[in-house]
Amino acid sequence: MNNHYKFINTPLPYAYDAMEPYIDEKTMRLHHDRHLQTYIDNLNNTLSKYPQLQHWTLEELIINVPCLPKDIQTNIKNNSGGVFNHQFFFSNLSTPTSLQPIGILSESIKNEFGSYMSFKNQFKTAALSVFGSGYAWLVVNSTGQLCIITTQNQDTPLSLGLYPVLNIDVWEHAYYLKHYNLRADYIDDWFHVVNWNNANLNYMRCFNISF
Ligand code: MN
């Protein structure tokens, strides 16, 4: 992935069927090759008409939406958010090997939520509570505290001044082919393929940035 225009859709760092049986191959293929690709194409199309924005990184575009020309604010917000949220989601999946948080993140989850089980329950409740399309996130706030939040559509925690650690995409396209309308089952399955190693790295990165 370039960190600025022209953005490209880098291949997944694992096979499309790597999350079987929890997330099916067809869903992974469509999600990455079509849904994410569409956000990238739309973002590139818009930026192609604005050379002055072509050196901006994805994060700069997201955070500075209010400074952009009015007529492209919504377009850039939705599509840069769509690219960021999906890349983050895919980067935090792995074949089901480590089913528990690790490292300093594991300690902080216990401190903040009482236990991993308690965190899981709260995260699942949040993910179920998203009305329509959006995401549930584990984030670090400006005082360094772990929090669970939800966002609508392709909104991101970055524009709220929060540092993302982990996210789950609960748009129906993320699970409908396998789980139909049963979002709760999809969330349970997603917990089997969380890349806790990467989430821990994201967490440590938050501290480097914010403190
Ligand atoms: Mn999605």
- Tokens coding 165: 């650690």
> Residue 175 in 3-state DSSP?
coil
Contacts of 150 (CB under 8 A, 6+ apart): 126, 127, 129, 130, 134, 135, 136, 137
What is the whole-number distance in angstroms between the Cα of residue 175 and the centre of ligand 1? 9
What is the whole-number distance in angstroms between the Cα of residue 36 and the centre of ligand 1? 7
Alpha-carbon dihedral sign for residues 5, 166, 125, 63: negative
> Is 125 in contact with 193 (CB distance < 8 Å)?
no
Quote the pLDDT of residue 211: 38
Q: Which residues of the chain have pLDDT under 50?
A: 210-211
> Residue 137 in 3-state DSSP?
strand
- Rounded to an integer, what distance in angstroms lies between the CA atom of residue 104 and that of residue 180? 36
Quote the pLDDT of residue 208: 77
By residue count, the chain amounts to 211
What is the whole-number distance in angstroms between the Cα of residue 172 and the centre of ligand 1? 8
- H-helix segments, the chain: 25-30, 37-47, 58-63, 73-91, 103-113, 116-129, 176-179, 183-190, 196-210
What is the whole-number distance in angstroms between the Cα of residue 68 and the centre of ligand 1? 25
What phi, psi does 14 have (nearest 5°)? -155, 170
User: Which residues does residue 136 pair with via DSSP β-bridges, in sequence order?
Assistant: 150, 168
What is the whole-number distance in angstroms between the Cα of residue 61 and the centre of ligand 1? 20
What is the whole-number distance in angstroms between the Cα of residue 16 and the centre of ligand 1? 15
What is the whole-number distance in angstroms between the Cα of residue 114 and the centre of ligand 1? 30
What is the whole-number distance in angstroms between the Cα of residue 35 and the centre of ligand 1? 6
Quote the pLDDT of residue 98: 63
The C-alpha R_g of the chain, in whole angstroms, comes to 17
What is the whole-number distance in angstroms between the Cα of residue 171 and the centre of ligand 1? 6
What is the whole-number distance in angstroms between the Cα of residue 211 and the centre of ligand 1? 31
- Tokens coding 183: 């979002």
Neighbours of ion ligand 1 (CB under 5 A): 169, 171, 174
Quote the pLDDT of residue 210: 43
What is the whole-number distance in angstroms between the Cα of residue 173 and the centre of ligand 1? 6
pTM of the shown model: 0.96
